[in-house]
Amino acid sequence: MRKLVTLIFSTVLTLFALAACGSDSDNKTDQSSMTGMSMQSKTGSADAVKDEIVISGFAYVVPESFTPGQKVTIRNNDSVEHSVTSDTKGTFSTDVEGGETATLTLPDQPGTYTFYCTYHPNMHGTLVVK
């Protein structure tokens, strides 16, 4: 019995050592392929979701058009806070923390609205209400 336990123990140790070794090199390949995958899936999900404004890499991904008064989810995939703020002061402005979502209620008036980020004024986007 004791012999069996020793055998199992040493087998487990060997497997553990192998796994530890293996996962070291695996991790590197995993990470690089994960990065590639997550970048792909970001583009994919931005295309798939029609009523979300996605902020990713300090850029807005905006669906083609919205309906008047629509409540739009703003999804911030960056780690820093952004905002969706109308260029025309007071039309709309919503802040969204890094990694969070926020809801923006769009104007009732159809039109083309340009907006920017109050934290990064070089970020610009356009949304169409019709």
Identity of the residue, 82 or 129, whose beta carbon is nearer to Cu ion in the bound complex: 82
The amino acid occupying position 6 is: T
Helices (H), the chain: 2-48
Cα dihedral angle (93, 95, 99, 102), rounded to 10 degrees?
-60
We find the least distance from the C-beta atom of residue 70 to Cu ion, in angstroms, to be: 22
Q: How far is the CB of 120 from Cu ion (least distance, A)?
A: 4
Residues touching Cu ion, count (CB under 5 A): 5
State the distance between the two ends of the chain, measured CA to CA, in whole angstroms: 78
- Select 66 or 116, whichever has its Cβ closest to Cu ion: 116
The residue from 71, 109, 119, 126 that contacts Cu ion (CB under 5 A) is: 119
Report how far apart, in Å, the C-alpha atoms of 113 and of each of 23, 91, 93 are.
50, 9, 12
Longest dimension (CA), the chain: 81
Binding characters for Cu ion, 61-90, by CB under 5 A (x = yes): ---------------------x--------
Q: Does 42 bind Cu ion (CB under 5 A)?
A: no
Q: Applying CB under 5 A, which residues contact Cu ion?
A: 82, 117, 119-120, 123
